[in-house]
A = this chain, B = another copy of it.
Amino acid sequence: MPPFDVPEGDPFGPHNLPYGVFSPPGSSERRVGVRLGDHVLDAGAAAHALGSPYASLLARPTLNPLLAAGRTSWSDVRRALTAWVTVPAHRETVEPLFHPLSSVTLYLPFEVADYVDFYASENHARNVGRIFRPDAADSLTPNWKHLPIGYHGRSGTVLVSGTDVVRPSGQRKAPTDPAPVFGPSVRLDIEAEVGFVVGAPSELGRPVPLGGFRDHVFGLCLLNDWSARDVQAWEYVPLGPFLGKSFATSVAAWITPLDALEEARVAPPERTHALLPYLDDTDEEPGGYDLRISMAVNGHVVSEPPFSTMYWTAAQQLAHMTVNGASLRTGDLYGSGTVSGPAEGQRGSLLELTWNGRDALELPDGKRTFLEDGDVVTLSAWAPGPGGVRVGLGEVTGRVTPRADPVS
């Protein structure tokens, strides 16, 4: 019987063990949970029941204490959890502490400190350049191959998967409009991304080198950086995206520890430009991750963006983000940027898939250029795991709803 008898090859088997925060049926008390198959283990209760020293990290309403504990603790806790869900002697103690996934409420698993979003897919950046600057000699800006471009986003509107996304209102102005108009966005878009979760903080004034990535970053999750393209287009010169992004960023309820993704590591694409030493990862461990993402609208897959094609790695992004001396805090979250592969069916945004609305997608329930009210967007993914078993990433999903009280 489940959960110990999770089927062989289940992408959420004991080789995976992502972390989340849940409340059991009939309770609103938040607890750290670990997913196994289609069940959730109350990790704090298990630690208490087994007399584990990790109860202080796990019997908490958020992942932050575990995140802050650092890499050695992350490995130790993972080893302990693996034993708890696989060693038959623990079965009698641990089994009553599982809840069916369908019975629990899931929450944002950690308190987000700063949220940064990057722009690390060359295919995405070139598509955007071709769409918005069709006459430019180079579809990339001159800095693109020299540094991972990024900007800060709003951490207060990072939402857990399943939260409705209210269509934002805002200003927009087509080049032909005499003045800006106000109203609900008519170009609401998806950005399929991967988010990296910082665990161990760093000191102000002390950059984290490329080799420090695993000491600071705990894990990753799928992320949808919802974007109002019309709002963004009017506002973003010269200081970057603001209200076009700040209304909602959705993340999966499950954080996959990097320790579960050893077999998914791959070398990033070949570098076409020499990199400054702090970004040069030639002699580092492979910094890419082979994550196979699937992007669906109303259950219909519209794209399969391959994360392995990202030009800039998460380690390079971390090194860049701190090279000016900026410190890291537990709970910092950074997004990879939209993941787009080289093929048309691998583009991670509707902007690219419909070429800015020119080529509508044919879905079973009608044509789409951008998102309509009621649309449900779901990102899911898997990565190669040990012995060919897949490592499943927690999905991130959200339904677009109209605003109840539009402001005029």
Contacts and interface: CB of A to CB of B under 8 A. Distances in A.
Count of this chain's copies in the oligomeric assembly: 2
A324 B231 contact: yes
Interface string A150-187: 11111111010000001011110100000110100000
Interface string A325-356: 11111001000000000000000000000000
A74 interface: no
Interface stretch (A80-88, A233-241, A285-293): A233-241
A407 B277 CA distance: 9
Interface string A130-164: 00000000000111001101111111110100000
A113 interface: yes
Interface secondary structure of A, over-half rule? loop
A228 interface: yes
Contact of A239 (B240, B324, B325): B240
A113 B243 CA distance: 17
A315 to B, nearest CB: 15
A143 B276 contact: no
A144 to B, nearest CB: 9
Nearest to A129: B238
A293 B237 CA distance: 28
B234 A143 contact: yes
A180 B142 CA distance: 10
A300 interface: no
Nearest to A152: B152
Interface residues of A, number: 69
Q: Name, among A114, A143, A236, A242, the residue most crowded by chain B CB atoms within 10 Å (CB to CB).
A: A242
8 contacts: A113-B156, A116-B242, A143-B180, A143-B234, A169-B207, A170-B324, A180-B276, A246-B326
B320 A243 contact: yes
A156 to B, nearest CB: 5
Contact of A182 (B113, B278, B404): B278
Given A205-B166, A277-B182, A323-B170, A242 B150 contact: yes
A241 B405 CA distance: 33
A326 B151 contact: no
B320 A149 contact: no
Given A234-B143, A277-B182, A152 B242 contact: yes
A403 interface: yes
A408 to B, nearest CB: 5
Given A143-B237, A239-B119, A204 B324 contact: no
Contacts of A277: 182, 407-408
Contact of A235 (B149, B156, B168, B276): B149
Given A143-B173, A231-B324, A243-B323, 8 more contacts: A114-B156, A143-B171, A147-B235, A151-B240, A204-B248, A246-B326, A277-B408, A278-B407
